[in-house]
Structure 1
Amino acid sequence: MRNILVTVMMIVVMLVLFNTIISDNATGTRARIQTQGNGANTMIGNLLP
């Protein structure tokens, strides 16, 4: 029973960490990658053939 409780608590902690570090819309890794990607697309679009 104790092992199941510890496992469930670890899963909850991992979900909270994922939501705060990776998928936060303002400062998360996803937002940073999207910002860098948009900047790269703009730079590529501004290249002259």
Structure 2
Amino acid sequence: MRNILMTVMLLVVVIVLFNNIIADGTNGTSKQIESQGDSANTKISSMLGVGSN
């Protein structure tokens, strides 16, 4: 019974850490990757002259 409780508690900790570090909508890793990708797309588009008709 103790092993099951420890496993459940560990899974809860992992889920909370994932939500705070990776999936956070304002400062999370996925948001930072998305903003860097948007910035890179903008820079590439401006170098290629795409959309500047």
TM-score normalised to structure 2 length: 0.87
Could you say which residue in structure 2 is the equivalent of 1:47?
47
5+ residue gaps in structure 2? none
Find the structure with the greater CA-based Rg: 2
Q: What stretches of structure 1 move > 4 A for 4+ residues in a row?
A: none
- Equivalents in 1 of 2:45, 2:31: separation in Å? 21
- Equivalents in 1 of 2:35, 2:7: separation in Å? 35
1:14 equivalenced with 2:26 (yes/no): no
In structure 2, what residue type is equivalent to 1:27?
Answer: N
Aligned residues: 49
1:18-46 per-residue CA deviation (whole Å, 9 max, x = no partner) reads 00000000000011000100000000100
TM-score normalised to structure 1 length: 0.94
